[in-house]
Amino acid sequence: MVAQVIDGKELAQSVRAEWKLRVDRLVQSGVKPGLAVIIVGDNPASAIYVKNKVKACSDIGIYSEVHSFSKDAIQQDVLDCIRSLNGNPRIHGILVQLPLPLQFENNRIITSIAVEKDIDGFHLYNVGALVTGNTVFSPCTPFGVMVMLQRNHIPVEGRHAVVIGRSNIVGKPMALMLLERGATVTICTSKTHNLTQFTQNADILVVATGKPRMIGAGMVKPGAVVIDVGINRLADGTLCGDVDFEAVRTVAGYITPVPGGVGPMTITMLLCNTILAAERAHADGEIR
């Protein structure tokens, strides 16, 4: 079997084209969606992510602004900035680029974002909303994965989904979203004994470990759907995922490549969440 490759780049383009129409509708009614990005410190990877987000906003017609703080910044200055953005009607979504420098308390910063502007879905209220099936904003990476499954007509209900990784931004919300859609979900971590016995039983395998090519062909059930979230830069400068793509594609039914798989969908879902936030703010304004 040779797996069908899920092209995240192509899918991201078509999703963006659909959501562009929603931006146009908002603009026609006098609302330009707005995103504020806060970046603290000089992490080069973070700087690239922020640049990509700003470009993606501009391409779809979302207003964006970046608030940069030095790595020695005081937490209170960032909190003040967020408070001001919370009250700014031009801004519908606020994103704090992670990781923050060590002197910052992540939860204190994230929970200072207004719930209705927390387009990453990391605010503790929004995490609780996701857990209880009352989602306000789906975290972007797992949201992108769910759209990939849906647009490829891959059934989730009743299937065994194995998620490797338990981070707050990928693994845990991914498992919850699959559970919400009726999958039987297993979460594996670095502490899992005999990982292969779990992965070999997965109808849907989502890998988010940051360990280059750790999933080989022998770990995958024939015909399984393999979603590779990992992004790893190798010593030669090239990117690869957590899945050995060339080996696993001979066994799997579907597979996502790296680059060009989940990555482009993540940023697309960030745009979608910002547009959703603007639509909700506009609807609230109309009701008042």
- Which of the residues are catalytic? 53, 97, 120
Of the candidates 79, 232, 239, 280, which one interacts with ligand NDP according to CB under 6 A? 232
At 256, phi and psi to the nearest 5? -105, 135
Asked if 229 is part of the footprint of ligand NDP (rule: CB under 6 A), the reply reads yes
CB nearer to ligand NDP: pick between 70 and 196? 196
Task: Give the one residue of 153, 191, 193, 288 binding ligand NDP; rule: CB under 6 A.
Answer: 191
DSSP of 39-76: EES--HHHHHHHHHHHHHHHHHT-EEEEEEE-TT--HH
Evaluate whether 38 touches 96 at the Cβ level (below 8 Å).
yes
Under the binding rule (CB under 6 A), the answer on residue 91 touching ligand NDP is no
The 157-186 contact track toward ligand NDP, x by CB under 6 A, reads -------xxxx-xxx---------------
Q: Which residue is nearest to ligand NDP (CB)?
A: 167
Q: Is-contact 244 31, C-beta < 8 A?
A: no
What's the min distance (Å) between Cβ of 80 and ligand NDP? 28
Distance separating alpha carbons of residues 279 and 288, to the nearest angstrom: 14
Q: CB of residue 284 vs ligand NDP: minimum separation in angstroms?
A: 30
Q: Does 266 bind ligand NDP (CB under 6 A)?
A: yes
| Closest to 38 measured CA to CA, from 61, 65, 57 | 65
What is the size of the binding site for ligand NDP (CB under 6 A)? 26
Nearer to ligand NDP, 207 or 281 (CB): 207
**Residue 257 in the binding site for ligand NDP (CB under 6 A):** no
Q: Does 208 help bind ligand NDP (rule: CB under 6 A)?
A: yes
Long-range contacts of residues 49-52, Cβ cutoff 8 Å, at least 24 apart: 49/97, 50/97, 52/267
Task: Give the one residue of 174, 188, 227, 240 binding ligand NDP; rule: CB under 6 A.
Answer: 188
Which bin fits 34, alpha (ψ -120 to 50), beta or left (φ > 0)?
A: beta
Q: Does 196 bind ligand NDP (CB under 6 A)?
A: no
Q: Does 93 bind ligand NDP (CB under 6 A)?
A: no
Q: In terms of CB distance, is 35 or 145 closer to ligand NDP?
A: 145
Q: 178 near 156, Cβ under 8 Å?
A: yes
Binds ligand NDP (CB under 6 A): choice among 29, 150, 190, 250: 190
Q: Which distant-in-sequence residues (6+ apart) come within 8 Å of 20 by Cβ? A: 60, 61
Rounded distance between C-alpha atoms, residue 93 and residue 270, angstroms: 9
**Measured from the CB atom, is 155 or 210 closer to ligand NDP?**
210
Q: How many C-beta atoms lie closer than 10 Å to residue 157's C-beta? A: 9
Show the DSSP H helices in 200-261 as ranges.
Answer: 245-248
73 vs 195 by CB, closer to ligand NDP: 195
Contact set with ligand NDP (CB under 6 A): 141, 164-167, 169-171, 188-192, 195, 208-211, 214, 229-232, 262-263, 266
